[in-house]
Structure formats: C-alpha cells, structure tokens
Amino acid sequence: KTPTPFLVPYFPLCVYFVFTAVCRQGCHQTHGYCTVPGECKCNYGWRGSLCDQCVTFPGCAHGSCTEPWKCVCDVNWGGLLCDKDLNFCGTHTPCKNGGTLSGSKCLCPPGFLGKFCQKGPSPCDSTPCLNGGLCQDKDGQTTTCSCAVGYSGNFCEIALDLCNPNPCQQGLECHSVEGRFMCACPDGYHGRECVSLRSTCKGQHCAVSDTTNGSLSFYMFLVGVLALVTLCGCAACAFVFSHLHRMRKKQQEEVPQEEGINNQRELVNLIRNVDRPVPLLPPTAPITQPPPPTPCYEEIELTLPPSPALSNPSPALKPAHAAKLDISNREREKLNRFNQADNQELEV
C-alpha cells in the first residue's frame, strides 16, 4: 500500500549568535570593559591599566581612596585635602649628610656645616693652588686654580720664563726671578724696564737739602701768617679812624658858626650906656637933693656882612669866641657909620 503523502508547514529558523570580545587579562570585570579583544577601558571614577585604581577627590595632596572621589589622608597628614603636615620633622627629615635632629636644629657630623648640614668640606680647604693662585670650588668635588702672573699649571706649580721674549728696552739683560722680571739698568736709570731717571742727589747733602727746604717752607708759612694778621690789623685801624673822622666832621657841621674868619667877627654883641631915670618909689623921707642918674646898660647884637673867605676854613684860622664888648657911645657911632645906617635903630 502506498503511503499517503502529507504536507509539513515550513517555518524559517533564525539563529542569533552573540559574540563578546575578550578583554585584556586582569582587566577588572566590574570597573573595566572592552570593545576590542585585548582592550581594557575604565568606567567613570576609575583609572589604571586594569581599572583597579579609584580616582581621588580633586586636590587631594597626601591621601588615597577606596572608592571614587574620596581622600583618605596618609600618616601625619590631615585636612580636607590632606595637605596639613602634622609632623614636619618626622616626615621630612631635613638634616642632610647624616645629620641628626635635636629639637628644631640639626647636629652635623664633622666636616659639614649649614642649617641642614648641607655644606660639606670644600676641596679648596687644603689650599691646593701654589704660588699665590686662587682656588675656585666648582661643584664641591673638583677645583680650578687661577694662577698669578708668571705661573701656570693645574696648581700654578710651573714658573714661566718672563724674559722670553726679552721685555727690556734696548736689549738690556733680563733676569726672571719668582714670577717677575728685572732689567739690568745702566747708571742713572732704575725700575723694572729702566725708563725712570735716578735722582742726582746723593749722600748727606740730600738730607740737609730736604731739611733746609722743610724749614724754609715752615718759615715762609709763618711769615705769610704774620703778614696776613698785620694786614687785617691795619685795615681795622683804618676803618676805626675813618669812622671817627666822619663822626667829628658831622659834629662840626651841626655846631653853629659863631667864630670869625681872618680876625673878623660875624656876630658882635654891643653894650651901650643909657641914662634912664630911677623909677619912683613911695616917699619914706623928705628928699633934700635929687639923686644922681643911675646908669643903665643896653645890649645890642650886631650882625656883620659875611666874609669872602673860604666856605670851610681851617680850624687853625678861626679865633676863639670873643666875649661881649662894653664900648662907649663914640665907638658905637663908628660902628653905626660902618653899617651906613645912621638913623636906623638897631633891634634890641
């Protein structure tokens, strides 16, 4: 019997394959991932080649973390960012070259100096440079020598021949001695190069001359001082005499001119006799005879014409001041005729 065929429905079958990249060996399974085989990328907050190190808080100076964005301070450090030193000496050990800390100071071993024993012995302490050379410490271990003139070498131990070539002028003989040269100078010259003339003065005469010059200079100085003092004294005396002369002349100008010149008076005081009656008195007794006239005197000042003599005559030509004159009426008439005023009454 032939079997009866039957139809089987067709359903397409889809198979999905998921391929996962193999990360770098040791990459943290939680904090790292990869998209390419052999790769290890870190998640946010983690770092390192295997993504096994957390990222500390920004600014954390001396601290670590067990999870991202933390700052756990190390020993002897504190503060929010672990930047506060809680034990400076225990952490930093400032003493160098084997120095030990005693309190806040460093005790240095022999040969070392400085606050932190940082200065060791210098190779120049042994003065390796010879013949006046200057030692220079380069790095604390090696030295260089700056040699004086006439020497060379690492330690200035070689004396140079300064006479080669010959520095002496005119071919004079040269001698090199202890880093310097001397020329054999002819008579009358001296110096290293024989260019200075010697003094022609020799023996005791030079000493006497020097002493004489010194004494002469002292006496000249003394004479100059005395002359200056004398000049100042004369100037002072001249000033005083000039001042006295001006004062005397001023006083003479202030005195009125009452003297005469050439034996002539400028002012003449005249006294004349005038007969005047006696004033009446109350009668006390009978008058038997009239009393004699009582003489009276009248004083007149007569001004004469000015003399044609010099305006400022010498005091020797001026006579002494004349006293008042008592003259008779006839003499008075002569004076009246002299003044050509016979009838002019004089002012009393």
The answer to whether position 95 is within a domain reads yes
Backbone angles phi, psi at 72, to 5 degrees: -100, 115
- Please report, for the domain that includes residue 156, its CATH number: 2.10.25.10
The answer to whether position 116 is within a domain reads yes
Is-above-0.75 flag for pTM?
no
Rounded Cα gap, residues 59 and 63, in angstroms: 10
User: What are the tokens at 111?
Assistant: 């040969």
Position 104 confidence tier, pLDDT thresholds 50, 70, 90: confident
Backbone angles phi, psi at 55, to 5 degrees: -90, 125
The percentage of residues in the chain with a pLDDT greater than 90, rounded to a whole number, is: 18
Domain range for 330 is 266-271+297-304+322-342
The answer to whether position 106 is within a domain reads yes
The model's pLDDT over 238-268, given as tens digits with 9 standing for 90+, comes to 999 898 988 888 888 775 544 444 444 445 5
Tally the domains of the chain.
3
The answer to whether position 103 is within a domain reads yes
The mean of the pLDDT values for the chain is 72
The residues that bridge with 73 in the sheet, in sequence order, are: 63
Query: Which burial class, exposed, middle or buried, applies to 53 when counting CB atoms under 10 A from its CB (0-12, 13-18, 19+)?
Result: middle
- Reduced to 3 states (helix: H, G, I; strand: E, B; else coil), residue 338 is helix
The model's pLDDT over 262-274, given as tens digits with 9 standing for 90+, comes to 444 445 555 545 4
Reported for 161-169, long-range contacts at CB under 8 A and 24+ positions apart, including other chains, are: 167/193, 168/193, 168/194, 169/193, 169/194, 169/195
The model's pLDDT over 312-329, given as tens digits with 9 standing for 90+, comes to 555 444 444 444 445 556
The answer to whether position 55 is within a domain reads no
The answer to whether position 193 is within a domain reads no
